[in-house]
Amino acid sequence: MQIFILKNKNKITLINGILIAIGFLSKWIIGNEKVFAWSLIIASILGVMPIAIQAYQALRVKVISVDVLVTLAVAGAFIIKNYEEAAIVTFLFLFGAYLEQRTLNKTRSAIKELTEMAPESALKQMENREFEEVDVDEVDVGDILLVKTGAKVPVDGTVLSGEGSINEASITGESLPVEKEKDSDVYAGTILDNGTIQIVADRVGEDTTFGKIIELVEEAQDSKSEAERFIDKFSKYYTPAVLILALVVGLFTQKAELAITILVLGCPGALVIGVPVSNVAGIGNGARNGILLKGSEVISDFSSLDTIVFDKTGTLTVGNPSVAEKQYYGDNIDEALGYLASVERESDHPLAKAVLEEIGETAFSPVENTEVIKGGGIVADVNGHRIAVGNVALMEKENVKPDEKARADIARFEKSGNSLVLTSVDGELKIMMGVRDQIRTGVKEDLQKLKKLKVKNLVMLSGDNQGTVDAVSRELGLTEAHGNMLPEDKSAYIKKLIDQGQIVAFVGDGVNDSPSLALANIGIAMGSGTDVAIETSDVVLMNSDFSRLPHALGLTKATARNMRQNIIIAVGVVLVLLSGLLFSEWVNMSVGMLVHEASILAVILNGMRLLRYKLR
């Protein structure tokens, strides 16, 4: 029966509220006192059942919780036949618990999502040197595996033969595929975009980088679940104090009604509803502004953070490489652009797509004698001209000699973090394009707003190379920036900051970010990121709108202040009422009830102010 009642606590809350509404409407509209009284009696009995069960469970482990006080207060209200207070107190208490439960419940589905993304099978070389598909659990260190185009790499390993480009977004978070050749390292869970490779297994199962991501998420979520609510801590002292006060007054005065009145007036109705109403109003404001805040603990930590750590790709940057800068040399540029587009149209390299998007509509020509230069680019014949498309090394191999201006442009493009795409026609440099993942519009201004909100440190961590990371950091004015970081490196860095006593928020969007999102005091996910990142986070910026982050921080600071104000109002009113009841003549049951309900209305109205909050 206890399990059934607690399982249906939310339904009981709804029925409780409906009965209270029926009672008051019957009294105000048709003046029916019997329906009024019985509606409130039934509402009180229904409402107190889950509270009384929780009080009993708390007493069994020698804890005097708020549930104990509320149960006694409702019983006292029944004894003096104040059914309105009994019904309203139970509804407010249950509704506050519902709001807390709704906003604070953390789903564990992130672990399931991560597990489903892990590779399940592998092509393993058997004794007859043929490759057979086996369960990934059957792969041991030292086994030779075959990975084909479009397949997931099953384990962490080293390339023995073959070439290809691998999408490592699930590990590093970077959007550009990485070229792999003999002796290159590969990671479980990454995807071979093109090519075929043979690898030797170096780490398998839970020892792989992907396996460590799952383990880190589990550990981080467990470490955060131990946080206690302020109200629970406060009730350890407040509840026994009210109980003892009521008992002592009852014994000394021999007035049972006075003791019950103390219990009723001491019942923390405003305290119970004050924090949740601030919390829900803050969450409501956030939702209307594209910010999902997952509970009051999030608001408390978020409002006092001093360090924000950002992933780069998809967070500070757009996450989609495009041509950021370009420079043309000599004449007949339109013709050269047509040649470049014709060559890139036949390439599956990720930079080719960015170049084609930049060129747009153009005239294509037949491409002949195409030669892919390993680590350099492509050389081909187009309309009788020798066209070379690639990096600086390819230009040197083709004996293309950039003039002083072009060399300066190359240095400038590289300093800005660009991947270079150079095009020569018959040995003469014609086109230089710089491709990079561009910074989100308005991010620099948003970071300045965060500094004005007293965030001391703005740090960027990325799996990208240090040169690109430094270029982005300089442009945005960050405090620190670190590149070449795997997921375990990021989470280790987060842990180091937390161990130093800093309150840290991490902002990211990928599977690789989920350990850091879970480990940080506050994990902030971009809404277009993976489900895993969103589930493991504490805050979600919907539609990946980075400009919502300053509003989110300002909102949580305002909400935290509002919660403190409501606690002061609630506790202050109770202290004034109890003092007036014991030491003066002006407080009686009627006056006490009026002030008591007024305090509940006051904290609700104060909390509702947050719905209109705007960042100044």
Min mean pLDDT across 201-210, 262-271, 289-298 is at 262-271
- List pLDDT tens digits, range 278-301: 877 787 788 777 787 776 667 878
- Tokens representing 566 are 């409501």
Cα dihedral 375→381→387→391 (10° resolution): 0
pLDDT band at 233 (very low <50, low <70, confident <90, very high): low
Does the pLDDT value for residue 494 go beyond 70?
A: yes
- 414 or 552, higher pLDDT: 552
* Residue 132 CB burial class (10 angstroms; 0-12, 13-18, ≥19): exposed
Q: What is the CA radius of gyration of the chain?
A: 33
What pLDDT is attached to residue 584?
74
Fold of 322-436: Calcium-transporting ATPase, cytoplasmic domain N (3.40.1110)
- List pLDDT tens digits, range 17-34: 899 899 889 888 888 888
What pLDDT is attached to residue 102?
58
- List pLDDT tens digits, range 96-155: 667 655 544 433 444 455 566 678 899 999 999 999 999 998 999 999 999 999 899 999
Does the pLDDT value for residue 522 go beyond 60?
A: yes
Does the pLDDT value for residue 229 go beyond 60?
A: no
pLDDT band at 170 (very low <50, low <70, confident <90, very high): low
Fold of 268-317+439-616: Rossmann fold (3.40.50)
pLDDT band at 224 (very low <50, low <70, confident <90, very high): very low
Are residues 196 and 164 in contact, defined by beta-carbon separation less than 8 angstroms? yes
> In whole angstroms, how far apart are CA 510 and each of 172, 275, 313, 315, 527?
9, 33, 9, 10, 10
Does the pLDDT value for residue 610 go beyond 70?
A: yes
**Residue linked to tokens 């809350």:** 13
Residue spans per domain, the chain: 1-106+225-252, 118-218, 268-317+439-616, 322-436
What pLDDT is attached to residue 214?
63
Mean of the pLDDT values across residues 385-405?
A: 91
- List pLDDT tens digits, range 307-321: 999 988 778 888 778
pLDDT band at 501 (very low <50, low <70, confident <90, very high): very high
What pLDDT is attached to residue 449?
94
Of the chain, the percentage scoring pLDDT greater than 90 comes to 30
Mean of the pLDDT values across residues 527-545?
A: 67
Q: Determine the angle formed by the axes of helices 269-288 and 83-104, rounding to 10 degrees.
A: 40
CA count, 13 A, side-chain hemisphere, 80: 21
- List pLDDT tens digits, range 57-71: 888 887 766 677 678
Cα dihedral 528→532→536→542 (10° resolution): 10
Min mean pLDDT across 38-47, 400-409, 446-455, 589-598 is at 589-598
- List pLDDT tens digits, range 419-435: 889 999 999 999 999 98
Catalytic residues: 311
> What region, left, alpha or beta, does residue 353 occupy, with left being phi > 0 and alpha being psi -120 to 50 degrees?
alpha
Output the CA angle 413-310-155, nearest 5 degrees. Answer: 90
Does the pLDDT value for residue 414 go beyond 60?
A: yes
CB atoms within 10 A of CB 26: 18
What pLDDT is attached to residue 106?
37
Q: Output phi, psi for 64, to 5 deg.
A: -95, 95
CA count, 13 A, side-chain hemisphere, 510: 27
Mean of the pLDDT values across residues 260-264?
A: 71
**Residue linked to tokens 């999502």:** 113
- List pLDDT tens digits, range 268-277: 667 766 777 7
**What is the residue-averaged pLDDT of the chain?**
82
Mapped onto helix, strand or coil, the DSSP state of residue 425 is strand
What pLDDT is attached to residue 544?
72
One CATH from 2.70.150.10, 2.60.120.260, 3.30.9.10, 2.130.10.10 for 118-218: 2.70.150.10
pTM over 0.85: no
What pLDDT is attached to residue 227?
30
- Tokens representing 244 are 């003892």
- 102 or 472, higher pLDDT: 472
Does the pLDDT value for residue 556 go beyond 70?
A: yes
E strand or H helix that includes residue 195: strand 191-203
What pLDDT is attached to residue 282?
82
